[in-house]
């Protein structure tokens, strides 16, 4: 039995966030998988920042997740270093508690996510930033 050759497609997307919230990127990721021509495999995502993270979540849960983390890692407190921006250390702590990478299988060129799942960049800063996500599509 012969197996098709494994292929790798890599692409970086830039996303402008709008401040401390979840920014959906599922459509961009799905488009890259489709354009890669790879039908079955793994999609690996990596965000190139330390004050933002990646999250797979359902859209309706966004307000609850954001409220929980606001209480878990407040933007005031003794842990803040003098001279740092009000959202600097909280953003880094939130990023450390979440993910900088995610892996999602796909088949027939379609992400194998649950019905309510979407991929988000979670901006941990108060203002928006240009964020980069490296997307690796590995499969055949």
pLDDT of residue 76: 77
Q: Which CATH architecture has domain 7-139?
A: Sandwich (2.60)
pLDDT of residue 81: 67
Dmax (CA) of the chain: 64
Residue 47 has pLDDT above 90, yes or no: yes
* Residue with token string 């407040």: 74
Q: Which of 7, 24, 31, 54 is nearest to 109 (CA)?
A: 31
Task: Give the SS3 label for residue 108.
Answer: coil
Q: Residue 75's pLDDT band (boundaries 50, 70, 90)? A: confident
pLDDT of residue 72: 93
pLDDT digits (tens, 9 = 90+) for 77-134: 776 666 666 788 889 899 999 999 999 999 999 999 999 999 999 999 999 999 999 9
pLDDT of residue 87: 81
pLDDT of residue 88: 81
Show me where the domains of the chain are located.
Answer: 7-139
């Amino acid at each position: 039995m012969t197996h098709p050759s494994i292929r790798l497609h890599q692409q970086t997307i830039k996303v402008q966030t709008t401040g401390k919230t979840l920014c959906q990127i599922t459509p961009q990721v799905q488009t890259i998988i489709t354009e890669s021509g790879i039908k079955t495999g793994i999609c690996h995502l990596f965000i190139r920042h330390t004050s933002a993270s990646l999250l797979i979540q359902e859209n309706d849960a966004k307000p609850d997740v954001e409220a929980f983390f606001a209480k878990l890692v407040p933007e005031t407190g003794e842990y803040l270093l003098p001279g740092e921006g009000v959202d600097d250390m909280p953003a880094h702590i939130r990023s450390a508690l979440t993910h900088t990478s995610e892996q999602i299988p796909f088949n027939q060129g379609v992400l194998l996510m649950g019905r309510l799942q979407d991929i988000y960049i979670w901006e941990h800063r108060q203002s928006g930033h240009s964020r980069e996500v490296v997307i690796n599509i590995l499969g055949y």
